Structure 1
Amino acid sequence: MIFRGCRAVSFMMKTIKEVSLAPVEVRGMKLLDREKFLRNVAVPILKVTEENLSKVTQCCRPFFLKLENFKPVQDIVNETYKKCIHLNPEKISNWTDITDDVRTSLSKHGVDENNFSIKEVQLCYENWRYETIFKAVLPENEEGVSGFSQIGHIIHLNLRDHLLDYRLLIGQVLLDKVKTCRTVVNKSNVIDNTYRNFSMEVLAGEEDFIVTVKENRCNFKFDFSKVYWNPRLCKEHERILSYLEKGDTLFDVFAGVGPFSIPAAKRNCTVFANDLNPDSYNWLNHNAKYNKVDMFRFKSYNLDGKDFIHTIFKEHIIASCSSEDKRSKIHVTMNLPALAMDFVKYFKGLIDDVNLFSKFDIEIIVYVYCFVIEGENAVTILNNSMGCDMTDYVVEVFDVRNVSPKKEMMRVTFKLTKDVLFDVKDSVNEPPAKKLCVEPEKTEMCVTKN
């Protein structure tokens, strides 16, 4: 490894030291007691002069004792040496633990074994990261706090049953350690499939659920306790938005607070956004105004998904067929993975005016999301929901995110053709626009154009 100010040297230690800097005797703690995290640790130090400090630190940086609220380089009261460098005792316990070539390099900067000594350092709660604290406190040989979501100032947890007894400690530690956090909550039951929100228990901090988050150059404000928001979907929102072009039309069947709809409208698309949850609908409109969306391009609705498809979407298709104007490409997003597949059937036979069949010349792309359990197939779910074989019109099957070890959130993208909309069988001989080449163990299907 090469470090500026030192020649090329190896920093491999001769032995791995069995020293742990973790807190001790706190296993099983359920209510946070910060005083019990105090411990004294024997820490190796190098005493150096101010003149050669910069050159020595460049050589020793890989060995620094790196802890929160702790400076590896500190002042000392000494007639000869003014600074001391604290080294990590998990890597070094004596001078000879450092390889010969490194020691040779240090000696050129006036540092030898006489500069090396051991100093007792008191560590406390403030010195450890939350990961280290959880590892020291929570049950061994059990899954710990594997991760969390942060939405504005709120940290959102989904704790496993074996961690519930520790939830107040977990909440307080996160509140202490994550600087941007003011509230920690734990999901206390499954997501309500009607409004996509859930009951929450406040573990630590303020009972303030109004948050503001930024995504895709838009700001979204909402009450996290009453609407659905998942920060893990940011890339998926961005991905779908990249498919939209200026002048396209978006129908967002389950719009939520607008992560698809608002950026699409800002990109000069015509947007029809819908959500059944009245709170989502209100925040959707708030965010449209907050982001200065052109309201001429943006229409919002508080309808059931079925009613939205049977009225707003249907009326637009009929009007487009009857119009002589250039027909824009239509995108339909259906991000309600627990239920969205139950709504795709409402597209089948939606248009019953056979006189419009020959006038239909609209490209419609549907992005429908679903949960797929191990052993299931997303396209099969689509076919069963539609009541017909849609395989030839599937453009892409994409693995959006892992929900649990045996459950994935998937997106099926398909073309909504006029034979489906008019429910006319064997009337159209045109080939499908795209076919699939499925390759196992890939999150995205191979798409071959005709």
Structure 2
Amino acid sequence: MSSSVPSSILGPVGVRGMTVLDRNKFLRTVQVPVIKVKGDGLSKTSQLCKALYLKLENFKPVQESGSDDEFKKHIHLNPEKITQWLDIEEKNRLAMIDLGINENNFCFKEVQLGYDNWTSNNIFKAVLPENEDIVSSFSQIGHIIHLNLRDHLLQYRPLIGQVLLDKIKTCRTVVNKSNIIDNTYRNFSMEVIAGDEDFLVTVKENKCIFQFDFSKVYWNSRLAMEHERILSFMKPNDVLFDVFCGVGPFSLPAAKVGCKVYANDLNPDSYKWLNHNASKNKLKGQLQTYNLDGKDFICNNLKDFIIKCCNGTDGVKVHVTMNLPAMAVEFLKYFRGLMKNEELIDKFKCEITVYVYCFVGEDPFNAAKMLVSKNLDCDMTPYIVDVFNVRKVSPKKDMMRVTFNLTKDILFDTIQSENGEPPVKKLCIEDS
């Protein structure tokens, strides 16, 4: 139960600037308004006072008095809301009087509060620098709490880690990561600031179980809803080409709903855990997995599939996910002219939808569209079906998803470049 009481009234005091956690320094005694009631009148009185309860961690608003008088139950009220009997709403006071409860039953009581009574947020507000950002959000991946601390909070790392370890019962490890994700394997440097140095986690998402070493692969719990959105676009017997699949948050749920999945990731650790998770979820028969560069996966595996479709396979619905927002748009050029040298344009019968992710700054919707057009070297406006803001990464950085149709015009390169020049030579044979 979280505290609804401001720190100025009941929060920790005298701990500003603490860098090493000292739980004893959070002890304080406060005056709390109390209504004393008899046991048989507790239920009805409680209903009249419930909105006024003192709500703190590990604190029961209704307690035994420990005295020998007849008013053995004490209802503790929030001193921010109630400072006298008359602060209680009149209709509720009158209803209590009808129950035999009046101003004589109202008093103040000394209550000792301590570290266990406050949430991590209450503690951070009391300890960390005023008028600066504090630890207001974090991700939890299995037993790991994952932070991205600003520079002004780095000296408080041991305290922040220990508080989160204490307050979040499912947490055994707290890590702080750098802002920079390695663009090759999408993992980042991290520091254990509290708890066990144990990075092997288990996560459940979209009816699948994922296991992986969080220090070696990419996983972002904030993308769970986006994974679910893309899954909602897929039907049994559709085909998914997951170009930067990681440990499988798109691929495995798609396989589970009956899609045929081709999943690829360059990171050998992601590839290892992708296969592990496919086996664990009994989905190996629905997936083909690859440990390739995205360019090779597009120019060879996707191309081969399209050729097969053109040469006799019934037209299918193909989804292509490209969740590498730092650089996925750079791989779009390999779609342009992918089939140019194949004499199959009249046989093309695939319906292909691409979901590409990118990071942009100002004017995110237009910026995302422009990025896609720039990297395909043509005006993609006629082909784009949706631009979606997935999440705000920072005040000046958004993660966007651009959904577009990959048509024969693009694949066989029958469209003009943005500069009006004739179609360029097939890009898949060039160096990336």
Is this a same-fold pair by TM over 0.5? yes
87, 90, 104: which is aligned to 1:97?
87
1:75 aligns with 2:64: yes
Identity level (%): 64
Within 2, Cα distance between the matches of 1:244 and 1:92?
Answer: 55
Superposition pairs for residues 219-230 of structure 1, below 5 Å? 219-230=209-220
Amino acid at match of 2:68: N
Kept in 1, the 8 Å contact 2:318–2:351? The answer is yes
Instruction: Indicate the residue corresponding to 1:12 in structure 2.
Output: none
Amino acid at match of 2:71: Y
1:42 aligns with 2:21: no
Within 1, Cα distance between the matches of 2:69 and 2:179?
Answer: 64
Structure 1, unaligned stretches of length 5 or more?
1-15, 427-450
Query: How far is 1:78 from its partner?
Result: 2.3
Amino acid at match of 2:230: I
Instruction: Indicate the residue corresponding to 2:276 in structure 1.
Output: 286
Query: How far is 1:198 from its partner?
Result: 0.5
Query: How far is 1:18 from its partner?
Result: 11
1:383 aligns with 2:373: yes
Superposition pairs for residues 129-148 of structure 1, below 5 Å? 129-148=119-138
Query: How far is 1:103 from its partner?
Result: 1.4
Of the structure 1 ranges 72-81 and 280-289, higher mean CA displacement relative to structure 2 is found in 72-81
Label 1:19 to 1:203 Cα distance change in 2 as closer, same or farther (>3 A): closer
Q: Tell me the TM-score normalised to structure 1 length.
A: 0.89
1:365 aligns with 2:347: no
Within 2, Cα distance between the matches of 1:219 and 1:354?
Answer: 41
Instruction: Indicate the residue corresponding to 1:298 in structure 2.
Output: 287
Instruction: Indicate the residue corresponding to 1:240 in structure 2.
Output: 230
Within 2, Cα distance between the matches of 1:331 and 1:368?
Answer: 11
Instruction: Indicate the residue corresponding to 1:209 in structure 2.
Output: 199
Q: How many correspondences in the alignment?
A: 409
Within 2, Cα distance between the matches of 1:251 and 1:57?
Answer: 59
Label 1:62 to 1:425 Cα distance change in 2 as closer, same or farther (>3 A): closer
Of the structure 1 ranges 346-355 and 366-375, higher mean CA displacement relative to structure 2 is found in 346-355
Kept in 2, the 8 Å contact 1:17–1:91? The answer is no
> Partner of 2:36: helix, strand, or coil?
strand
- CA shift digits 1:229-280 (9 cap, x unpaired): 1111111111111111111100000000001000111111110000000000
243, 256, 259: which is aligned to 1:266?
256
Within 2, Cα distance between the matches of 1:269 and 1:219?
Answer: 18
285, 290, 296: which is aligned to 1:307?
296
Instruction: Indicate the residue corresponding to 1:316 in structure 2.
Output: 305
Superposition pairs for residues 27-38 of structure 1, below 5 Å? 27-38=16-27
Kept in 2, the 8 Å contact 1:18–1:90? The answer is no
Within 2, Cα distance between the matches of 1:372 and 1:89?
Answer: 47
Within 2, Cα distance between the matches of 1:108 and 1:287?
Answer: 64
Of the structure 1 ranges 81-90 and 393-402, higher mean CA displacement relative to structure 2 is found in 81-90
Within 2, Cα distance between the matches of 1:19 and 1:355?
Answer: 75
Runs (4+) off by over 3 Å: 16-19
Query: How far is 1:354 from its partner?
Result: 3.9
Within 1, Cα distance between the matches of 2:356 and 2:6?
Answer: 54
Amino acid at match of 2:302: F
Instruction: Indicate the residue corresponding to 1:179 in structure 2.
Output: 169
Amino acid at match of 1:301: Y
> Partner of 2:215: helix, strand, or coil?
coil
Instruction: Indicate the residue corresponding to 2:314 in structure 1.
Output: 326
Amino acid at match of 1:56: T
Query: How far is 1:356 from its partner?
Result: 0.8
Amino acid at match of 2:347: K
Within 1, Cα distance between the matches of 2:245 and 2:215?
Answer: 17
Of the structure 1 ranges 91-100 and 365-374, higher mean CA displacement relative to structure 2 is found in 91-100
Within 2, Cα distance between the matches of 1:278 and 1:230?
Answer: 19
115, 119, 142: which is aligned to 1:125?
115
> Partner of 1:383: helix, strand, or coil?
helix
Q: Tell me the TM-score normalised to structure 2 length.
A: 0.92
Instruction: Indicate the residue corresponding to 2:420 in structure 1.
Output: none
- CA shift digits 1:65-86 (9 cap, x unpaired): 1111111111122221111111
